[in-house]
Amino acid sequence: MVYTRNTKGKVALVTGSSRGIGRDIALKLAGVASAVAVQYHSNRETALDVAGMIQNEGSRSAVFRADLTKEKSASSLVAKVQQEFGRIDILVNNFGPLIDKHWKKTSTEEWEFTLRSNLLSALFCIQASLPGMRKRKWGRIINLGYSRVEEIAAFRQITPYAVAKTGLLIVTRTVAVSEAAAGITVNMVSPGLMKGSILPKDTHIPAGRLGELDDVSQAVLFLASEEAGYITGANLIVAGGWKL
């Protein structure tokens, strides 16, 4: 299913879009947006490949290097995308690596990096993108979480990641309430166990399979569409029933 009504002509920025879920989201958005900005940190070649594929789909694209753990770099990214394409209508905060390490062995530096990359990076991009969205009375912000983001539970191997993503859900709902009257929706898409990801011991999935990139991308496409204009502050779990 592809949602196209009133999305052609929109400009999208997808962070962490040189590979993985971010790459797939960027490529899928190429079918419904006039331009898609590809953000990367270190691998320019893969980012250029993604931009080339987007252009082959008939949409404009460009690559932008940014260290999103730093506020100035994130703000500069948003400014450069706006300078290149004139606006940002759809912001997808996908960037956010996971460190699989017992909390007792996790260093202060690893804590800070995880919190900055999974929580503050999204906040920085949101803050920089909101003024333009408010001016146009239209915006779609989609943050990537994980399927257990609403559980206040013990996560011994991914403690900083769980803390950061739960914090991001709080930010998602807070900004959603604050910006609803301005025509801006803010939602979260939370993938479950994915093909190629780190798998826990309990991998029983009622749907009978691991998640595919397309499962997540289609959820993002829906929330970015005009049809989803009355949905805000939601956390859409894409996990095939895992852990319900």
Question: Residue 177: what pLDDT?
Answer: 98
Spans of all domains in the chain: 11-238
The pLDDT tens digits of the residues spanning 35-87 come to: 999 999 999 999 999 999 999 999 999 999 999 999 999 999 999 999 999 99
The domain defined by 11-238 carries CATH number 3.40.190.10? no
Q: Which of 3, 146, 161, 230 is catalytic?
A: 161
Question: Residue 197: what pLDDT?
Answer: 76
Question: Residue 8: what pLDDT?
Answer: 67
Question: Which strand ranges, in their side-by-side order, compose the sheet holding 60-65?
Answer: 60-65, 35-40, 11-14, 90-93, 139-144, 184-191, 235-238
Q: Which residue reads 């999103």 in tokens?
A: 68
Question: Residue 7: what pLDDT?
Answer: 60
Question: Residue 175: what pLDDT?
Answer: 98
Tokens of 151: 């559980």
Annotate 72-84 with DSSP letters as a single string.
Answer: HHHHHHHHHHHHH
In this structure, what DSSP letter does residue 211 have?
B
Average pLDDT over residues 222-230: 96
Quick check: is 230 catalytic?
A: no
> Which segments of 107-232 does DSSP mark as H helices, in order?
108-115, 121-136, 159-179, 213-224
Whole-prediction pTM? 0.94
Euclidean distance between CA atoms 168 and 149, whole angstroms: 9
Instruction: Give the SS3 label for residue 200.
Output: coil
pLDDT at position 5 over 60: no
At 104, which helix (H) or strand (E)?
A: none
Mean pLDDT score of the chain: 93
The pLDDT tens digits of the residues spanning 124-149 come to: 999 999 999 999 999 999 999 998 99
Average pLDDT over residues 86-111: 93
The pLDDT tens digits of the residues spanning 157-202 come to: 889 999 999 999 999 999 999 999 999 999 999 998 888 777 777 7
